[in-house]
Structure 1
């Protein structure tokens, strides 16, 4: 088999999301699958907790926040229980339970048909509701990060929620542990350039450091 045939086949496999091409070779892409919320809350929990503690420093009393239903976002919400006077817009029952009805917070919960695996609302009704708000800061999770393909997710509704948050929020904080880098998701949500603050648990590889050079990067 010629070198050009190998390169062509690798390009095809990469376009299909089956592999991630690297300098001098390729590796299998992580599986494009996410389990239920309870399972995902236990995955990389220590890293998510460190990320959450660092991310909380960006939230002041009285802030207007959108917080999505990703597990890292749920960890961040738990770190905000001492903040006062927050206005929280969310599609997550978990976030609502953490921050609703405490410390003079105002809570706006998007509703529609609940996805039991995510314990969240992300159908068209929920999307239309969230699109009405203009938060100071959106706190978002992500399913996958690729240096060339950008930010990706696995759930159509959650991907749409992320797109709305990127469009309507003054700033976006993305919480992502190191397992998300180099993965392929099912659908694109945003370009890396749309992230204002990245909070992660490991120093970035050179290609990602270049890709996020515009953002404030915090390694927890």
Structure 2
């Protein structure tokens, strides 16, 4: 029987685990710059950490493992619940009765769906089975579920059918979730297919409300997306850091 002990991870590798656990994702270039080492050195660290099952290697960077570090969907509903409710109430207050609305996926967007249930004569399109369930028994809501393939435990609908269907409609408002913010102000998420749906919906909307609590300001992800600055607002519960405020250029709406 092989009783050889595994070599412990290095101090730098342990710090990489800490950084990625806090942020959700980090690029090789950023880690190399932070540690003052070559990208190849960081790449070797990432290969080791991926092999140990501690992090997950991606093209150009490293992230937390879906099955271990990242919160499960049921847990996400309980995190920052008060902040999500305030954000949802504020976003819903900005959507008039009679509007045509697209709802994205995510627990904060689901909170917005609950607030919208009290509206009158809304036309709601969604790629979220969870949001559709919330609104399905409200007769004042004209509900349309965008077709597609179900992706993940959050009941997200994605794929060519989803994108093709979205292109046929025009929305007054889109309510979009996100997982993090890049340093240049671009929003970020983990799944390229879900981001494709977000981007397509924002392009079809007169105005987009990107909703998320302040914990997202300290996180990064994998895939970037953005909207037109003249038709975009970030709805959150706390004043963002100065660098985010500077990039957003007055587009933040704070839910008191």
Q: TM-score, normalised by structure 2?
A: 0.70
SS at match of 1:181: helix
Q: Determine helix, strand or coil for the equivalent of 1:98.
A: helix
- Would the alpha carbon gap of residues 115 and 210 (structure 1) be closer, same or farther in structure 2, given more than 3 Å must change? same
Q: Per the alignment, in what secondary structure is the counterpart of residue 102 of structure 2?
A: strand
Distance 1:21 1:173, change over 3 A: farther
Q: Which residue of 2 aligns with 1:54?
A: 90
Q: Which moved more, 1:163-172 or 1:106-115?
A: 106-115
Partner of 1:16: 28
Match of 2:107 among 42, 62, 71: 71
Structure 1's unaligned 5+ residue stretches are: 1-12, 23-28
Match 1:114 to one of 150, 156, 164: 150
Cα deviation, residue 147, structure 1: 3.0
TM-score by length of 1: 0.81
- Rounded to whole Å, the distance in 2 between the matches of 1:21 and 1:41 is 35
Alpha-carbon distance in structure 1 between the residues aligned to 2:33 and 2:176? 27
Match of 2:245 in 1: 209
Preserved CA contact (<8 Å) 1:82 1:103: no
2:55 corresponds to 1:43: no
Q: Which has the bigger relative contact order, CA under 8 A and spacing at least 6?
A: 1
Which residue of the other structure, out of 108, 123, 132, is the alignment partner of 1:87?
123
Measure the CA separation in 1 of the matches of 2:89 and 2:71.
24
Name whichever structure is richer in helix by fraction.
Answer: 2
1:26-45 superposed Cα distances (whole Å, 9 cap, x missing partner): xxx98475544323212222
**Residue aligning to 1:126:** 162
Rg (Cα) greater in structure: 2
